[in-house]
Chain A
Amino acid sequence: SYVLTQPPSVSVAPGQTARITCGVNNLGSKSVFWYQQKPGQAPVLVVYDGSDRPSGIPERFSGSNFGNTATLIINRVAAGDEADYYCQVWDNNSDHYVFGTGTKVTVL
């Protein structure tokens, strides 16, 4: 089955940059979407098509996707960014939507 691998956790100091990776073979050929989920809340789309943002999402959130790895980048991390983050793609071989394993971001 198609597995998008993310690091279980990332810790970052306030004001610094957090980088969350999502990996699978040839991921760079796909559109990757990123979601933020705070405890007890529904997921929220934060980055799509690699690096675009929905309205209301701060410019501090951006993404890249090249080769086998997509990366969500959060600049100038704030306490309010502490959450679980998931990548997501569409697997055209199975016609299934796949979420990454998830990364818990902790702001130190």
Chain B
Amino acid sequence: EVQLVESGGGLVQPGGSLRLSCAASGLSVSSNYMSWVRQAPGKGLEWVSVVFTDEKSFYADSVKGRFSTARDNPKNTVYLQMNSLRVEDTAVYYCARLTNWGGKFDIWGQGTMLTVSS
């Protein structure tokens, strides 16, 4: 069974940093396009980032320069490093598999909650 499991969420003060993890089973993160999508409380979905098989990454304008992605292939895990956090980054962060460039998100994790507050 293919599964994505996020972890690492929590409470962080504005300006702080946090790293989210997405552990995959049933698929290899090194040969898939892995993405992060977030959802603020009571709001809609917002795409955050994608990391490609060649390690190239793209980011939403709202997080560019503050967030970065990385992969640990032996651990089959993708990470989202979040720096200079803002109150408006508060959201549930989902890890998702992107089927192809310009394509769809067909596998999703259950999400992990980040709260940025003083």
Taking beta carbons and an 8 Å cutoff, which residues of A are in contact with B?
Answer: 1, 31, 33, 35, 37, 41-45, 48, 54, 84, 86, 88, 90, 92, 95-102
Contact = CB atoms under 8 A, between A and B. Distances in A.
B44 A43 contact: no
B102 A102 contact: no
- For the complex of A and B, 4 pairs with smallest distance between CB atoms: A97-B47, A90-B102, A42-B108, A102-B44
Interface in B40-54: 44-47, 50
Contacts of B101: 90
Nearest to B110: A42
Interface string B76-118: 0000000000000000001000100111111011110000000
Interface of A is mostly: strand
A86 B44 CA distance: 8
Contacts, number: 58
A44 B61 CA distance: 25
A1 B61 CA distance: 10
A43 B13 CA distance: 28
A43 B102 CA distance: 18
A24 B104 CA distance: 18
A31 B106 contact: no
Interface string B42-77: 001111001000000010110000000000000000
